[in-house]
Amino acid sequence: MLPEKLTNALNDQFNNELQAAHAYTAMAAYFSKKGYHGFANFYLIQSKEEHFHAMKFYQYLVTMDETPVLQALTEPKNHFVSALDVLENSLSQEKSVTSNIYALVTLAAELQEHATLSFLDWFIEEQMEEEKSFRDIIARVKAVEEGGEYFLKMDDEFAQRKLEE
């Protein structure tokens, strides 16, 4: 069993990951509506990855003899002005998740919960990759016109993306 404060924080992050999946689905819808099905695929995969992350928290809580508690999801942002707007919202969301993971690490360290620290290591690496990925995509999109030839090439590239676990 874990200290109650840590269990509550882990449950919050479990739900934050589900909220992120929800938000990425809304972002996919923006691209689907515009006909950019590769970008939509990219975001649907992102949504599935966030759900996978949530389930890692779920399983960890169960392993530690705690109960995962589902909370209400809030309506995500559904209206975007451009692909760049979606991407910048994505990076902001990932930075928020990173901040939450760091807070969990700090709490687990204060409570000397070494198993939780070990569990959270994977998320630290994952967040570094996620933020870099979005920074790189933003740099690429800023250099092209939405709907232009290179943007459509990126759309084709993202259509090939598959879920990696």
- The pLDDT tens digits for 128-147 are 999 999 999 999 999 999 99
State which amino acid sits at residue 154: M
Nearest residue to 13 (alpha-carbon basis) of 89, 114, 101: 101
Three-class SS of the chain: CCCHHHHHHHHHHHHHHHHHHHHHHHHHHHHHHHCCHHHHHHHHHHHHHHHHHHHHHHHHHHHCCCCCCCCCCCCCCCCCCCHHHHHHHHHHHHHHHHHHHHHHHHHHHHCCCHHHHHHHHHHHHHHHHHHHHHHHHHHHHHCCCCCCHHHHHHHHHHHCCCCCC
Binding site members for Fe cation: 17, 50, 53, 94, 127
Nearest residue to 54 (alpha-carbon basis) of 17, 21, 7: 17
pLDDT at res. 162: 86
pLDDT at res. 164: 73
Structural domains in the chain, sorted by start: 4-68+77-159 (1.20.1260.10)
pLDDT tens for each residue of 43-93: 999 999 999 999 999 999 999 999 999 999 999 999 999 999 999 999 999
pLDDT at res. 165: 58
Binding site members: 17, 50, 53, 94, 127
5 and 107 Cβ atoms separated by less than 8 Å: yes
pTM here is 0.93
Gap between the Cα atoms of 73 and 83, Å rounded? 24
